A = this chain, B = another copy of it.
Amino acid sequence: MSIKGLFPIDKWDFKSESIFADLRPDDFELLTAHKSEHVYKKNDILFREGTYPSGIFFINKGKVKKYKVDKDGKEQIIYLANTAQLIGYHAVLSGDRYPDSAAVMEESVITFIPKEDFLKTLDQSPALNNRLLKTLSHEFAVLANSLTMFAQKTVRERLALQLIVIREKHKVDSIEGAPVEINISREDLASLVGTARENVIRILTEFKEKGILETKGRKIIVKDINTLIKIANHK
């Protein structure tokens, strides 16, 4: 296997950030009783919008996009999830179908936990309940923020903002000290920003000319984060 620096389920971070932070050992035992681990290739689909969930997914190592597809097949990315994040639990909790799809953006190792185990653990663990309520409320606030951004910011501002956010996320998986290389297709970037691919390219070119960033093949390296922040906040 070509993947280095795994985040194995047996060593999940029990510190504050994790959604399973307050889980007692026996609850954790119950939760992971029937876990299974898989290596997914780029573009593999974890789940599809409109289907019923069978469980939740934990990203041991990799990148996953959550997205919706409209009638014309145009894709809108809602969220980028990275190493050590949990996805697909909203639908399990709501008891409804998946509201969006999830696909792997690069080779990734992902642990699957059947929904029965997740729900059973939830039943016996008030700590997990509290943590989930907190997480969901927080996620809601973040999404409300995104909504405002989409409604009020120009494409240029949104792109600047997304570059900042993605760069921050990429930091988790990149080598300390080295410049952070943003590795994302122009198509996905456009889908995240909510515009056409051509538009993204034009603005990236402008940023390049201004020395804000450099490209190395398809990769983007931010050179001047401060100007990027200014652009994102302008207006």
Residues of A within 8 A of B (CB): 68, 70-72, 74, 76, 78, 90-91, 93-96, 99-100, 122-123, 126, 129, 132-134, 136-141, 143-148, 150-152, 194, 233, 235
Please measure, in the bound complex, the distance between the C-alpha atom of A141 and the C-alpha atom of B145, giving whole angstroms. 15
Chain A interface SS verdict (over half)? helix
Q: Is the CB of A99 within 8 A of B152?
A: no
**CB-CB nearest in chain B for A92:** B137
Known: A133-B132, A233-B71. A96 touches B138 (CB 8 A): yes
Q: Is the CB of A235 within 8 A of B72?
A: yes
Q: Which residues of B contact A138 (CB under 8 A)?
A: 94, 96
- Would you give the shortest CB distance from A98 to chain B, in whole angstroms? 9
Q: Which of A138, A143, A144 has the most chain B CB within a 10 Å cutoff?
A: A144
Q: Is the CB of B76 within 8 A of A194?
A: no
Please measure, in the bound complex, the distance between the C-alpha atom of A94 and the C-alpha atom of B140, giving whole angstroms. 10
- Would you give the shortest CB distance from A58 to chain B, in whole angstroms? 18
Q: Is the CB of B78 within 8 A of A194?
A: no
Q: Is the CB of B70 within 8 A of A148?
A: yes
Please measure, in the bound complex, the distance between the C-alpha atom of A143 and the C-alpha atom of B152, giving whole angstroms. 16
- Contact for A143 among B129, B137, B143, CB less than 8 A: B143
29 A–B contacts from the bound complex (CB under 8 Å) = A70-B148, A70-B152, A70-B235, A71-B233, A76-B147, A78-B147, A90-B140, A91-B137, A93-B136, A94-B137, A94-B141, A96-B137, A99-B140, A99-B145, A100-B141, A122-B133, A123-B126, A129-B133, A133-B136, A136-B136, A136-B137, A139-B140, A140-B140, A140-B143, A143-B143, A143-B147, A146-B147, A147-B147, A150-B151
